[in-house]
């Protein structure tokens, strides 16, 4: 990857992370605004992360498609590895791409988060700490979503 494309991808991921930071924090604050503590059990964490992944990928994918058409980056990379070819094929069907990426990321992230909270012995998280954690998590997920969607977009050969 050359410098210009790396810088472009970095800018796109940074913008997505910034928006996800604020949107994730605001959504969490609206949902739990009356609670002093937010449950941190495995089930509530899994549901929260799955919904967050679905919404983040559902919002990121159309913006990546629009940016692709605006900046004309289609087909810059060659799809060499099987996962990249699969993602390039999935990108032609945005809903399938959103669902597949979300449902692949959500179990892994849920398991890691539940394990982390279990190792620390945390059953509930204070409201403000939850908002901070949710905002940071949403920012990282937004940047990952942008990179995960842009890489196959750049490899698609032909028109969408």
The DSSP annotation for the chain comes to --HHHHHHHHHHHHHHHHHHHHHHHHHHHHHSTT-SEEE--HHHHHHHHHHHHHHHHHHHHHHHHHHHHHHT-TT-S---SHHHHHHHHHHTSHHHHHHHHHHHHHHHHHHHHHHHHHHHT-SEEEHHHHHHHHHHHHHHHHHHHHHHHHHHHHH--S--
Tell whether 160 is covered by a domain: no
Half-sphere exposure of 65 (CA within 13 A, CB side): 17
What is the per-residue pLDDT for 119? 93
Tell whether 103 is covered by a domain: yes
Query: Tokens 């060659």 label which residue?
Result: 78
Q: What average pLDDT does this structure show over 46-74?
A: 83
Tell whether 82 is covered by a domain: yes
Full residue range of the structural domain in which residue 21 is found: 3-155
Residue 159 has pLDDT above 70, yes or no: no
pLDDT band for position 1 (50/70/90)? Answer: low
CA dist list (Å): 29 to 23, 61, 128: 10, 24, 9
pLDDT band for position 129 (50/70/90)? Answer: very high
Q: Is 49 exposed, middle or buried (0-12, 13-18, 19+ CB in 10 A)?
A: buried
Q: What average pLDDT does this structure show over 128-144?
A: 93
Tell whether 23 is covered by a domain: yes
Strand partners, 84: none
Residue 156 has pLDDT above 60, yes or no: no
Phi, psi (5° rounding) for residue 158? Answer: 100, -170
Tell whether 106 is covered by a domain: yes
Domain count, the chain: 1
Listed range (43-47, 51-55, 91-95, 150-154) with the worst mean pLDDT: 150-154
Residues 6+ apart with CB under 8 A from 158: 74, 75
């Amino acid at each position: 990857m050359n410098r210009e494309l790396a810088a472009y991808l970095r800018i796109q991921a940074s913008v997505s992370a910034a928006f996800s930071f604020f949107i994730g924090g605001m959504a969490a604050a609206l949902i739990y605004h009356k609670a002093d503590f937010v449950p941190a059990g495995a089930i509530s964490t899994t549901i929260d992360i799955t919904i967050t992944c679905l919404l983040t990928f559902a919002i990121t994918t159309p913006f990546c498609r629009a940016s692709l058409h605006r900046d004309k980056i289609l087909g810059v990379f060659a799809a060499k590895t099987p996962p990249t070819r699969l993602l390039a094929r999935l990108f032609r069907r945005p809903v399938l791409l959103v669902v597949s990426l979300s449902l692949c990321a959500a179990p892994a992230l849920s398991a890691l988060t539940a394990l982390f909270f279990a190792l620390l012995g945390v059953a509930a998280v204070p409201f403000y700490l939850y908002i901070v954690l949710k905002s940071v998590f949403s920012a990282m997920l937004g940047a990952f979503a942008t990179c995960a969607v842009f890489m196959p977009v750049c490899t698609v050969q032909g028109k969408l």
